[in-house]
Amino acid sequence: MLNTEELDILLVTKTVEEIVADHGAELDEPARAYLGKFAAFEEELTLLGEEFRLAPAPQTTPDPRLFEGRKSLSWWRRPLAIPAWASLAAAALCLVLILTHPFAEVDPKPDAGLDLKTLLAAQRSAPEEPMDRFDQQVFQALSERAIHYIERDTPEHYKLALADLEAVHRMKPNDTRLLRYLVLTCDSLGLSTRKNTYQKLLDNASGRP
Amino acid sequence: MQSTQTKIERFLQGDNSVMEDLLSLFRDKVWYYLKAKIPYDDVEDLFHDVVIAGFNGLPRLQEPDKLLPWMLAITRRKIQEYYKKRDVATTSYSEEQQEPTYHPKKNLSQEKSIKLNKIHGCINQLREPFREVAILHFILGMPYPEVALMMGCNDNTAKSRINRAKVMIFKCSGGK
C-alpha cells in the first residue's frame, strides 16, 4: 500500500486521476482519503486564482507628459526606428550647414587691400591726432569687443576680432597694444602675410628697426 | 494587427495612441502579481510606479516579444524596493505587515475565505523558485510554457516545479 510520502512523490508527476488509474490496487482507504483531500485542495487553489483575477487592474493610462523625453532617449539606440527620409533630410541639412558655415570659409586673398606702404604712411601722418569724445567711445567699445572675441578663442571669434581691431587701428595707427592684438589675431587665423605687415607696423611704432 | 515591436517603436517616436495597447499586454498580469505579493492597500501605488518605470525603460528593452517577462522583472524589483523601504521605515518587524492580505470577491463562506487566505499565505511562505512559479501559475493563471519562459527553464522543469509547489502548499495549508 502507498503511504502519504509516496503519494506526495507521485503527485509531482501525476494527477490524482492518473494515480487512481495506475495505482488503484495499492491505495487503501487512508490513501484514497488523502487523494480526495488533495483533489479538494486543488479546487480551492483554482478558486483562489479565479478570485485574484476577478478584479482587473484599474483601466487608467499614465499621463503621456511623464514620457516627454522618450524621443531623445530612443534615437541614438534605435536609429532604424527613424524613417529613412528623415535620416536623409537630416544628413542633407547637416551638409548644407557645414558648407555654409563661416568656419569652412576659405579666404582666397586674406591680405587683399592691406598695403604696407599706405599703412606706414598713414601711421606716420597721424601719429598724435587727438580723438574727440565720440571717437574715443567708439574706440573703447570696439577694442573691448575685440578683446572679448579673442578671449572666446575660436576661429570664428578671431575673425570678428580682426574686423574690430582693424577698424580701431585706423583710428589709432600707432597704438602698439592694438598692433600686438592684430599680430596675435592674424597669427591665430593663419594669415601670415597680414601678420608680418602688422608686425612691421608694430616694430615701426615701437621704434624698433 | 501591429506587432509589439511596432507599437513600442511608435511609442518611442512620440505616438501616445499606442500606450493603451501596450498597457493591455501586461496590465492585468502585473496587477495580479502585485496583489499576490504586497498588501492590497499599496498595490495601486506600486502598480503606477511599475507602469511608469516600464514605459520609461522601453528604449532599453532588447526583445520586444518579451515585454511581459520584462515588465514582471521590473515589478519584482519594485516589490523588493518596497519591502526594503518598509523594513527601514518600520522600527519593529511584524509578520502581519509582511503578509499580503487576501480580499475575497465572490460570495464565499467565512470558512472558505479563511481557507483561501491560508493557502495564499502558504504560497508566500514557499521558498524560491517555488513561490514564483506558484504565483505565476496559480494566481496569474499562466500555462506551463509561459511560466517556463518567465523562469528561463524548459517546460518540463516548470511543470515539475509547479507540481512540487502545489504539494508544498497542500502540506502547509493543512494536508497531512
Residues 6+ apart with CB under 8 A from A54: B105, B106
- Grid coordinates representing A59? 483601466
Task: Report whether B139 contacts B123 (CB < 8 A).
Answer: yes
Residue of A nearest to B142 (CA): A49
- CB-CB neighbors (< 8 A) of B53 in chain A: none
Extents of the domains making up chain A: 4-54, 116-205
C-alpha triplet A152, A154, A157: angle, nearest 5°: 70
CB contact under 8 A, A52 and B23: no
B57 touches chain A (CB under 8 A): no
Categorise residue A3: left if φ over 0, alpha if ψ from -120 to 50, beta otherwise. beta
Per-residue pLDDT of chain A (209 residues; tens, 9 = 90+): 778 888 888 888 888 888 888 887 888 888 888 888 888 888 888 888 888 887 777 777 676 666 665 554 444 444 455 566 777 888 888 888 887 776 545 454 445 455 666 666 666 665 555 677 777 778 888 888 888 888 777 888 888 888 888 888 888 888 888 888 888 888 888 888 888 888 888 888 877 66
CA A27/CA B176 separation, integer angstroms: 16
Task: Report whether A57 contacts B30 (CB < 8 A).
Answer: yes
Q: Is the pLDDT of residue B93 over 50?
A: no
CA B141/CA B138 separation, integer angstroms: 5
- CB-CB neighbors (< 8 A) of A48 in chain B: 102, 116, 119-120, 138-139
Which pTM was predicted? 0.53
Q: Is the pLDDT of residue B172 over 50?
A: yes
DSSP class of residue A174 equals T
Categorise residue A153: left if φ over 0, alpha if ψ from -120 to 50, beta otherwise. left
CATH fold of A116-205 reads 1.25.40
CA A107/CA A163 separation, integer angstroms: 14
Looking at the complex, report in whole angstroms how far the Cα of residue A183 sits from the nearest Cα belonging to chain B: 52
CA B167/CA A42 separation, integer angstroms: 10
Name all domains of chain B by residue range, CATH numbers in brackets. 1-101 (1.10.1740.10), 103-176 (1.10.10.10)
Q: B116-121: which pairs have CB atoms within 8 A and are 24 or more residues apart?
A: B116/A44, B116/A47, B116/A48, B116/A51, B118/B173, B118/B174, B119/A41, B119/A44, B119/A45, B119/A48, B119/B169, B119/B173, B120/A48, B120/B36
B102 touches chain A (CB under 8 A): yes
